[in-house]
Amino acid sequence: MPFKITIELSDRDLRHFQRELRKAHASVRSADDEEIIGAAAELLTSMRDEQLPDFVALRLDKLGCLLEMLQDTEWPLEKSERSPVLAALAYVCDPEDIIPDEIPGIGLLDDAVMIELVFLQLRHEIEAYEDFCRYRSSASRGKRGGGEAANAQLARRRKQLVSRMRRRRAADKRAARG
């Protein structure tokens, strides 16, 4: 029988997680992107082989989406857009984060919370990327061989989605300022 626990994070709690994410963000500036991506891919693979609490297992796909977004050569992100994603991956890869990962049962709780917060923070980027992937998939099923016209159409769609992503991000920032 499932047992549901609802945790409400106060503004103070959220500020704490944001500080931790900023620390990870600062460490990313001096780290190599490929090193972080490699560590995250390795972690994701090893986590899928473990018996994880469901609250963590349910978030592995979200973590995988972040990783795919960074590695997709057809979805290039600017450094300012890559940096928060890399920071989130760096945080999750750190075994000595808020709750050390080796503590049975709860060691990955902070990682699950951080993944949720990052997904909320990066929702426009993730939505745009997922829309791009769906478009690319449907376009590749509809046309054989691709060609220049298909590549140009895909590039136009990518440009539209990136523009939408940036407009929504800017609107969120304006709304947050009041």
Same domain, 133 and 81: no
pLDDT tens for 129-173 read 999 999 999 887 655 556 788 889 999 999 999 999 999 999 998
- How far from chain centre, in Å, is Cα 101? 19
Q: How many domains does the chain have?
A: 2
Q: What is the pLDDT of residue 134?
A: 94
CA distances from 94 to 1, 8, 9, 56, 62 (A): 33, 24, 22, 15, 17
The pLDDT score that the predictor gives to residue 58 is 78
Residue 55 binned pLDDT confidence (cut-offs 50, 70, 90)? confident
Instruction: State whether 36 and 108 are in the same domain.
Output: yes
pLDDT (mean) for 116-124: 86
Residue 30 lies in a domain: yes
Residues 105 and 62 in one domain: yes
What percent of the chain is modeled with pLDDT above 70?
87
Q: Do residues 111 and 20 lie in contact, with contact meaning Cβ atoms separated by under 8 Å?
A: no
Domain termination residue (choose one: 121, 138, 157): 121
One domain for residues 24 and 112: yes
Q: How confident is the model at residue 124 (pLDDT cuts 50, 70, 90)?
A: very high
Is 21 among the domain residues?
yes
Q: What residues make up the domain containing 43?
A: 7-121
Q: Which of 82, 101, 121 is the last residue of a domain?
A: 121
Q: Which two tokens stand for residue 166?
A: 């940036």
Residue 157 lies in a domain: yes
> Do residues 11 and 99 share a domain?
yes
Question: 151 and 92, same structural domain?
Answer: no
CB 165 within 8 A of CB 121: no
In a domain, 1, yes or no: no
Instruction: Please tell me whether residues 80 and 135 are part of one structural domain.
Output: no
Q: Does residue 2 lie in a domain region?
A: no
CB hemisphere CA count around 49 (13 angstroms): 6
CA dist., res. 116 & res. 93, Å (int): 15
Question: Is the confidence at residue 35, as pLDDT, over 70?
Answer: yes
- pLDDT single digits (tens) 81-91: 888 888 888 87
| Pair 82, 102 in one domain | yes
In which element (H, E) is residue 60 found?
helix 60-71
Evaluate if residue 7 carries a pLDDT over 90: no
| 106 and 164 part of one domain | no
Q: Is pLDDT above 70 for 57?
A: yes
How far apart CA 135 and CA 39 sit, in angstroms, is: 29
Q: Are 77 and 85 within 8 A, CB to CB?
A: yes
Do 105 and 17 fall into the same domain?
Answer: yes
Helix (H, G, I), strand (E, B) or coil at 100: coil
Cα angle 125, 90, 85 (rounded to 5 degrees) comes to 10
Last residue of a domain, one of 77, 106, 121: 121
Mean pLDDT of the chain: 82
Selection from 37-46, 49-58, 103-112 with the highest mean pLDDT? 37-46
The pLDDT score that the predictor gives to residue 43 is 81
Given a contact cutoff of 8 angstroms between Cβ atoms, the answer to whether 9 and 113 are in contact is yes
Q: Is 61 in the same domain as 131?
A: no
